[in-house]
């Protein structure tokens, strides 16, 4: 009884800040928009991966992306239909599950840096690609733990702030030190793994969630300041990153070196012009290194032009807008924070990738959500969309109950028998 009263009180406090007004029909339309946008992006990604690689590698990458999409669909359904509270209750174990492999890869990376590349053999399953130790290899399958760190962090922060009383959120200890300390430990390992682009995306997502949760603004500013200082120090301390920034500022001088991929990407976009060359008719993509990964958007720009790029961005904005619309009708704080976290994560990652391909920011190794080749990114993002669908179902039930109560309709649970009082008739109470 006391627990129920506390829950009601918490719900009341939350409703003062976020009323969550809306109809079940609008929420259903938002859910359809999310699914349609995701399906569209995945299908476009598979088609473009085939176009980018079929001349060199045949159908290998095309078939593998189909496999990843199938596995992602299974996890999306699991996220949509498993009890949502179960994910919230065990979110701290998710943090542990990503922290351990990230720590393992960090130790392997440090060993390779100071003792030579040959030491990688002492770390089973650790894989070094282009000097970066970010992957775990299990036979033909490679897993990137930093992609799943995004899932763990969104769930953990949503669950933590969602069940924390508002007066404690305002405090420094419970409101900022504990969650940011836990999230910072995972984020720090991602940074040490030299995955700066993923670190930026994760950092923006963490910042957005703690702000929306109601943490004092001065603590948010401190978080931004510390992050900016550490990020700048991390960049300035690396000659390779400084060289990459210099090459980005002067691409013509380094077009055969550090800026080779960026230079070719901009040529692809230029050749595509407004309407593009047509599907699979692009020729500059053949000069682009690994076009099916981080620079898949450049292939889209060449073959479908500016129009194709705008349609792509519209799909991203539609998906994230629909997720925000679902969040706007959530009755629980943890559900709202989860939806906002997923929307910000997808949108920021998409904008960073498009900005890199267009040459607006220095090149970083970040995938285009749902488009780029890679199982870890696709599966983790599809699982997050499944969680959003789970939130949709739960809050649709709440909205349905509210609409029934406002219409003086008594909702009947499945499998129960309802016998109306005998003193009631079609005209109401006879004794009135």
Q: Which helix (H) or strand (E) holds 136?
A: strand 132-138
Long-range contacts, 49-53 (Cβ 8 Å, 24+): 49/292, 49/296, 49/373, 50/280, 51/279, 51/280, 51/282, 51/285, 51/299, 51/303, 52/285, 52/291, 52/292, 52/296, 52/299, 53/291, 53/292
Contact between 111 and 192 under an 8 Å Cβ cutoff? The reply is no
The per-residue b/e assignment along 394-409, b for 16 or more CB within 10 angstroms, e otherwise, is bbbebbeebeeeeeee
Contact between 376 and 148 under an 8 Å Cβ cutoff? The reply is yes
Q: Mean pLDDT, the chain, as a whole number?
A: 83
pLDDT at 233: 78
Domain ranges of the chain: 23-405
pLDDT at 8: 45
CA angle 19, 321, 355 (to 5 degrees): 135
- 8-46: per-residue pLDDT in tens? 444 433 433 344 445 678 888 999 999 999 999 999 999
- pLDDT of residue 405 exceeding 60: yes
Q: What is the pTM of this model?
A: 0.85
State in Å, rounded, how far the first CA of the chain is from the last one. 33
- 48-93: per-residue pLDDT in tens? 999 999 888 788 899 999 999 999 999 999 999 999 999 999 999 9
pLDDT at 373: 93
pLDDT at 21: 45
- 122-177: per-residue pLDDT in tens? 889 888 777 678 888 888 888 999 999 999 999 999 999 998 888 888 888 888 88
pLDDT at 148: 94
Nearest-angstrom CA–CA distance, 296 and 367: 9
Contact between 72 and 385 under an 8 Å Cβ cutoff? The reply is no
- 186-199: per-residue pLDDT in tens? 988 888 877 778 88
Nearest-angstrom CA–CA distance, 40 and 312: 9
- 239-282: per-residue pLDDT in tens? 777 777 776 666 665 565 566 777 788 888 888 889 999 998 88
């Amino acid at each position: 009884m006391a627990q129920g009263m506390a829950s009601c009180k918490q719900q009341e406090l939350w409703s003062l800040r976020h009323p969550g007004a809306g109809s079940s029909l609008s929420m259903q339309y938002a859910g359809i928009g999310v699914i349609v946008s995701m399906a569209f992006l995945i299908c476009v990604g598979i088609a473009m991966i085939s176009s980018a690689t079929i001349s060199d590698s045949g159908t290998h990458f095309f078939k593998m992306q189909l496999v990843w999409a199938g596995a992602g669909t299974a996890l999306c359904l699991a996220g949509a239909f498993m009890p949502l509270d179960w994910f919230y209750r065990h979110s701290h174990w998710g943090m542990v599950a990503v922290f351990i492999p990230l720590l393992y890869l960090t130790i392997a990376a440090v060993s390779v840096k100071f003792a030579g590349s040959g030491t990688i053999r002492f770390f089973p399953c650790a894989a070094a690609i282009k000097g970066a130790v970010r992957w775990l290899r299990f036979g033909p399958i490679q897993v990137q733990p930093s992609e799943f760190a995004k899932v763990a962090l969104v769930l953990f922060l949503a669950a933590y702030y969602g069940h924390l009383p508002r007066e404690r959120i305002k405090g420094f200890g419970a409101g900022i030190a504990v969650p940011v300390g836990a999230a910072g430990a995972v984020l720090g390992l991602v940074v040490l793994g030299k995955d700066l682009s993923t670190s930026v995306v994760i950092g923006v997502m963490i910042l957005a969630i703690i702000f929306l949760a109601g943490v004092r603004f001065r603590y948010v500013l401190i978080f931004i300041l510390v992050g900016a200082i550490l990020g700048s120090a991390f960049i300035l301390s690396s000659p390779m990153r400084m060289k990459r920034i210099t090459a980005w500022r002067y691409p013509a001088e380094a077009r055969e070196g550090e800026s080779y991929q960026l230079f070719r990407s901009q040529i692809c976009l230029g050749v595509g012009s407004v309407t593009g060359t047509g599907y699979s008719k692009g020729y500059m993509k053949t000069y682009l290194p690994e076009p099916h990964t981080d620079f898949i958007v450049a292939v889209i720009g060449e073959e479908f032009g500016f129009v194709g790029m705008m349609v792509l961005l519209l799909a991203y904005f539609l998906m994230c807008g629909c997720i925000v619309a679902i969040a706007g009708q959530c009755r629980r704080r943890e559900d709202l924070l989860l939806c906002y976290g997923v929307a910000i994560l997808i949108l920021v990652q998409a904008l960073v990738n498009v900005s890199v391909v267009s040459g607006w920011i220095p090149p970083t190794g970040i995938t285009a959500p749902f488009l780029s080749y890679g199982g870890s990114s696709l599966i983790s993002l599809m699982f997050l969309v499944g969680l959003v669908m789970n939130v949709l179902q739960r809050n649709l039930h709440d909205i349905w109950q509210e609409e029934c109560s406002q219409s003086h309709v008594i909702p009947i649970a499945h499998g129960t028998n309802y016998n109306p009082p005998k003193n009631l008739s079609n005209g109401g109470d006879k004794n009135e």
